[in-house]
Each structure stands twice: as structure tokens, then as C-alpha cells.
Structure 1
Amino acid sequence: MKLMFGRTISLQLRLFVAVLLSVLLIIGDRYTQGGTVVRTSLNTLVTPLIYVANLPYELFSLGAKSLHTKEQLLTENKVLTEKQMLQSEQLQQYQFLARENQKLRALLGSSAKQSNRKIIAQVLSVHSNPYSHQVVINRGTTDGLSEGQAVIDEMGVVGQLTKVGTTTSRVLLMTDTTHATPVRILRNDVRTVVEGIGKINLVKLSHVPHSLDIRIGDVLVTSGLGGTFPEGYPVAVVTEINRDEGRPFAQVYAEPIAQLDRIRLLVILWRNLQEQISDD
């Protein structure tokens, strides 16, 4: 059998052919739909492997649960009961505030916001590349997901969907260097942008003027700008401010509220119908 790259072919020619094929693949992926179809197909093909790789963890978790003693279960039940009672009180207060808010909106002639559709997803694996912060979840196009949807957990913003397959999808975490989140400071409603810097427990505020009213401990929430993240979800807490006048902007860092290094269950959000209609 005659090989394509035999010993008689020079290394320079091999390099030229490899570079040429790479450029053609990049151009084809950028300007055609074929690349998306191929990625979706490959993602679907490796889905069984992801589930198999996740099987030992599920078995271990099942075994750990079976080892709980009766005393542990009673203690957990007591704690959960007390927590439920506290949350019931908060729910009653929330219902009161919701009614008051509805009355105020009616007086102002403003329509109330529609609640977003949402779905629970489980993390199957974490991306092994240290320079790319991504996780794989067990939801895909069969569940109605699409690229760009917001992802949160029980504490705050996690990231957004990217590379959605048939039954699995990738979530780009907010700490990835390619991710940016429009936010506002909860204390004074000043808007800014949070960018990932490749560290799982740290993000940076971009282009912050020295005169901006921001303090250590300020809570940052989603501003609703850009259309990806609904308004009002917790994002990060400011932990460091460096106002070096020798630099054009202040260096401001924050810690994500969501514990991104230990996420397991996530919530996928849909944008509400009114926002979609206004964008169209």
C-alpha cells in the first residue's frame, strides 16, 4: 500500500499541505453551516461515552446515600423542616410584595414582567482544558435548548450555553476569558461589565473609570442588557479595587457568587416572550 506521506516527500511539503487543509477547514467552518452540523453530529456520537464516564460517580453517590444512618437522616430532616418554615415566611412576604408591585405597576400603566421558563440540568463532566472553563450538561436540543441561553445555579449566574447537541450541551462559565456579563452595582445601579480572566474564583470589571462609585463588598447583579441574562440575578461581589492613577482605568476584581468549582445541578433559563418579540 502506498502511503500519502511517504519517506520521499519532504517535511516542508507535508507542513504546507497540513497548513493548507487547516486554513480550508477554518474558512469552511466560518462561512458555511457544515461545521455546525459536523460538531453537532460529533457531540451526539460522544454522548454515550460521557454517560459511561459519569457512571462511576453516580454509583458512588448511590452507595454513599445508602450508608446514611437513621440519626443522620433525622438530623437532616429537622434542619430541612426549619429551613422550610423560614422559607415559607419569606414566601408569604414575597407574595405580599408581589401584590403591592402589581398594584404599583397598574397605577403606572406598566405591564408586569413575565416569569421565565426554566429547566433543571445536571453536570456530566468538566472540560479538561485549563484555559477553557466549560462543563457538559445532560440537556440538549431535544429539551428545546439553544445556544446563548443563560445558566444559573441556586446561588447566582454560572454562564451561558454553547455548542448544543441533541442530548448534551456545553456551558461556557462566566470565568472563561471569552465570556462577558453585563452587570449593575446593586447599591447604586451603576452599569458595567464583568469579564472572565481564566481563574475559577475571580473575575474582572472592564474599563472602570477612577471616579466610579464602587466599593469593596458591592454586590453585582445582571443588568438585563444584551438580552442573554434576565435582570436581577446575582453575579459577583467586589473584592479588590486598585485605583492606580498611572493607569487609564481602575483595576477592580470580584469573586463569583456561584461556586463554579463545585456545581452539580444547574438551571437553564429562557428569555421571556415579551423580550423575544421586542428583539424581533
Structure 2
Amino acid sequence: MSHGGFVIRLFFKRGSWPNLRAFVYLVLALLIMFSDHYSLRFQKFHDKLSIIVLPIQMLVDAPIKTVHWLAITISTQKDLLAENAELKAQALFLKSQLQKLLALEKENKNLRQLLESKPYIGGKTVVAQLLAVDLDPTLQQVILDKGRRDKVYVGQPVLDPYGIMGQIIQVGFLTSKMLMITDTHSAVPVEDYRTNMRAIAVGSGQIDQLFLINVPNTSDVQVGDLFVSSGLGLRFPIGYPVGVVTQVEKPTGVGFAKIILKPTAHLNRTQQVLLMWPEQAALKPDVMQQLQNGKVGAIHESPKHRGNS
């Protein structure tokens, strides 16, 4: 025994036969692997050993699995947050596109209505956009996006698909100012569509009211009558709607009736309007000249008539 122990100690002594030690280790490892694979005793031992080692493996694997799970969870949460943010951005973009489409659809509808009204008015027309509304409650004025560059002129009529809105009172190079028919400074020659009775519609200062002035108490005017532009004055197109009678009062002892119209134009809702160049406007210089000549002739003839009488 002492001789064998000496041999083993000599074999494992540091620095002695290193190549032989490696060879012995290799042979032992192969024998153990062979016995573990083919020997039932070693398999039973291996099974018992695996039961003992399993808790240690689970204990070692637990932190690794936890770290891996946390990494996947964090990565998934980041992906979900990024995807959620992207979906929210897409939803907002689609909503904005939908609003734009709705606005375009409304604008196209207004344009179709404007173009459908064109055959009834005659003359050249141009679509204009409302830019601003005068905030002064005593004024009924708006700014349009057409000006001198577009041949806009003072006194030019402005319409919407439902009626006369007003006339241009000031012109800049790119924009112009429109006076609504409801402004107290506005007056439109009109006639009753039912009876052809002529009158003047003036603004009341309120967005939904017009007054007819100098209408005799005996006139045949009824609630619901439509008044259209008469074309007198050669400013507004002939026969375009102005207002509908909503109230008629004929007080006793007064020579004129109180008649209120509601404008047919959508004065507080329209965004696009028609600027028009009426065909009869070209006749205005000749008509004014003839009126002037008539006045001059009357002045010259009046002394002769007095002398003859």
C-alpha cells in the first residue's frame, strides 16, 4: 500500500510526466462517459444525481430567465408604445384629412350652387372668397379676396346662390370691401315678383332684415311675396332675389306701409360669393348722359313755355 501510494503521489506530483497525466485523465473521462451511457448502475446514479442537481440548475437559471423575461417585456412595451404613438399620429392625420375632405365637399357644393345660378344673372362672373367680416355691429361690411387686379370696381354687385348680398364700396389692388344690403347705407331697387310693384329695399342694420320705403298704404303687398331686383339704376342684375316679405303693417293715418323683408341671401353663412359684371352696366354712361341731356333740355324749354303761356 505504501508503495502504491507513493506511485500515486509521484504521478500527481507537480511537474512529473505532464503528458502522461493528460492521457490518464482522458482515458478516465472516456471510461466514465462509456459507463454512463451503457451501464445501468451509472444511469441510476446519474438519475439520482440529476435530482440533486435540479434545484441548483433552477436556482442558477432563474436570474437568467428573469433578465431575459424583463428584456422581452421592456422591448415589447417599447414597441407597443411606439406603435401606439404611430397609430395615434395616423388617426390624427386621417381625422385632419377627413375634415379637409368635408370642407372641400362643402366648398364644391357651394361652387356648384354658384355656377348653377349663373344662367339666371347674365354677364361675366367671378367667384370670390370672404376674407374678413367687419366686427363693428353698426356696419355690415366684409372683405373679399378680389381687387383691382381682377377688374373689380366700386358699385359692382355681389351675389350668392340665393340672392343679392351687396355691392363693392372700396377697391384695393388685391382685395375689396363689400357693403351688405342689410347695412343702413344700402339701397336696392326692387319689385314685387307677384304684382311687379316697384320699391326700394334699404338696410335695417340687422343681418336678417330689410325695409321697403315709400310704399303706399293701398299697395297690394302680402306676407310671403318675393321681391327681386328691378334693374333700375343699372347696378344690380334684373330679376335676382332680394328678400321675402315677413311683416306688413298699414297703420291708419299714415300714408305709407311698414314692410319688412328677410334677405334671401345667406349673409351670415356664405363663404364664397359671385362678383358679376351685369350686361346692362355697359349702358349706364349712355343712360346718365341722356338723363343729363333731358334735364338740360327741360331747363332750356321752360322759359319758352312760360313765354308762350
TM-score, reference length from structure 1:
0.60
Unaligned runs of 5+ in 1: 1-61, 89-93, 99-113
Deviation at 1:128, TM superposition (A): 1.0
Give every structure 1 segment of 4 or more consecutive aligned residues whose post-TM-superposition deviation is greater than 6 Å.
Answer: 62-65
Match of 2:171 in 1: 164
Q: Which residue, out of 141, 145, 155, partners 2:148?
A: 141
Matched, 1:196 2:203: yes
Query: What's the CA shift string for 1:60-102, capped at 9, x where partnerless?
Result: xx997622599x89xx89xx8xxx9xx99xxxxx9xxx9xxxx
Matched, 1:219 2:226: yes
Distance 1:63 1:225, change over 3 A: farther
Q: Which residue, out of 123, 127, 135, partners 1:120?
A: 127
Query: What's the CA shift string for 1:196-236, capped at 9, x where partnerless?
Result: 01000011000110100110000000000011101010000
Deviation at 1:192, TM superposition (A): 0.5
Identity over the aligned pairs, expressed in percent? Answer: 33
SS of 2:149's equivalent in the other structure is: helix
SS of 1:199's equivalent in the other structure is: coil
Query: What's the CA shift string for 1:173-204, capped at 9, x where partnerless?
Result: 00000000000000011101101010000110
Higher helix share: 2
Aligned partners of 1:116 and 1:227: how far apart in 2?
13
Q: CA RMSD in A?
A: 3.2
Match of 2:98 in 1: 67
Aligned partners of 2:229 and 2:202: how far apart in 1?
13
**Which protein has the larger Cα radius of gyration, Structure 1 or Structure 2?**
2
Match of 2:286 in 1: 278
Match of 2:157 in 1: 150
Unaligned runs of 5+ in 2: 1-92, 290-309
Matched, 1:246 2:277: no
Q: Which residue, out of 227, 235, 239, partners 1:232?
A: 239
Between 1 and 2, higher relative CO (CA 8 Å, sep ≥ 6) is seen in: 1
TM-score, reference length from structure 2:
0.55
Number of paired residues?
Answer: 188
Aligned partners of 2:238 and 2:210: how far apart in 1?
19
Query: What's the CA shift string for 1:130-177, capped at 9, x where partnerless?
Result: 101000000000000110000000111000001110000000000000
Match of 1:14 in 2: none
Match of 1:35 in 2: none
Matching residue's letter, 2:268? D
